[in-house]
Amino acid sequence: MSVLNEQGRKMKVYFIGAGPGDPELITVKAQKRINQCPVILYAGSLVPREILADVEESADKIIDTASLDLDEIMGHIQQAHRDGKDVARVHSGDPSVYGAIGEQIRRLNALGIEFEIIPGVTATSASAAWLGKELTLSGVSQTIIMTRYEGKTPFPEKERLPALAASGATLAIHLGVTRIHKVVEELLPYYGENCPVAVCYRTSWKDQDKVTGTLKDIVEKVRQKKFTRTSLILVGQVLGEGEFDDSYLYDEGQAHIYRPKAKKTKPRTVDTSFAHLVKK
C-alpha cells in the first residue's frame, strides 16, 4: 500500500536527464523536480555532484547508484514508495537514450508505481555545440544516427555499423573509443578516408577534451590523447570546413506560410547521392 505524500497524492518516480555534465545544461524543470524530491538516486559515475548542490542539506537521502545493481536500486524506490516520498532518479544526458531506464520502468509498472520522464541535453547535442557545428546540412546529411559500437550488448544484424554506414548519414557513436580502429575499418568503405571525424571526451565537464581529424588519421590522434572511455565519436561530411549550400529555410526564393512572397532567384541543384563523399 502506498502512503500519500505531503501534497496528498501518491509518490512518483522522476527519471531526470541531468545533461552531459555541465550543471548549467540541466533544464529548469529537471532542477525543480530534483529540488522537490526528498529521495535522490543519481548515477554518480556520470552525473556531477554539483547538480545536487541545492538539496545537499534538505534531501532525506542522496544515494549514488554507481555501485548498485537493479534490485538494490529498486529496493530504495520501493522503500520511498512505502514512505510516500517522491524519488528523483537522475541519469546523465537524456534518460531515454542509453539510460537503461526501460527495465526500471517495467518494474515500476508491475508494482503500480507512477513515474515521469524529464528529458535532458544529450552528449550528441552538447558535442555539436562545442565543435561549433550543425549536424544536418542541406544536400549533405539530413539524418543523424545515434548508435553504439557492438560489445557486450547484443546487436540486431541490421543495426551493425556497416549497415548504418551505408546510409551516409551523420553518425554519433557511443562507447566505441576503445575500438576506434575497428570503427574506422568498418566506416572507410562508405565514407572514405578523407571524411571528417571528431572524438569528444567528457563533453561539458571541467576536464573535457577533443580531437578532430579524418578517418585516415583519427586512430593515431585518439591514441595520442589516450581516450579510453566516456567519449563520443562523430562522423560525417557536416563536420568539414568546405563550402555548403544554404538551406531553403531562409532562401528568399522559397515562399512559405510565414513568408508568402518569394523573390526571383537562380534555381539550385543539389547532389543528393553519396558518391561524391567517398574518395575515388
* Ranges under pLDDT 70 in the chain: 1-8, 244-259, 261-280
Domain extent, residue 231, equals 123-239
Evaluate whether residue 177 is within a structural domain: yes
pLDDT score at 266: 58
Q: Is residue 280 domain-resident?
A: no
- The predicted-structure confidence for 28-79, as pLDDT tens digits, reads as follows 999 999 999 999 999 999 999 999 999 999 999 999 999 999 999 999 999 9
Same domain, 210 and 140: yes
Quick count: other Cβ atoms within 10 Å of Cβ 278?
15
Count other Cβ atoms within 10 Å, centred on residue 40. 24
Report d(CA 41, CA 77) in Å as an integer. Answer: 9
Domain endpoint, select from 69, 89, 118: 118
Task: Assess whether 160 and 69 both reside in one domain.
Answer: no
Are residues 46 and 143 both part of a single domain? no
In a domain, 4, yes or no: no
- Percent of the chain past pLDDT 70, that is, above it, reads 84
pLDDT of res. 271:
56
pLDDT of residue 246: 66
- Asked if residue 127 and residue 112 are part of one domain, the reply reads no
Let me know whether 230 and 179 are in one domain: yes
Report yes or no on 253 lying in a domain.
no
Same domain membership, residue 127 and residue 62: no
Domains in the chain: how many in total? 2
| Residue 139 is assigned to a structural domain of this protein | yes
The pLDDT score that the predictor gives to residue 274 is 53
pLDDT at 245: 65
Domain-located, residue 262: no
Are 77 and 86 in contact, with CB atoms under 8 Å apart? no
**pLDDT for res 164:** 95
Same domain, 159 and 105: no
Which amino acid is located at 3 in the chain?
V
CATH number for the domain harbouring residue 106: 3.40.1010.10
- DSSP symbol at 206: T
CB 137 within 8 A of CB 244: yes
So what's the pLDDT on residue 105?
98
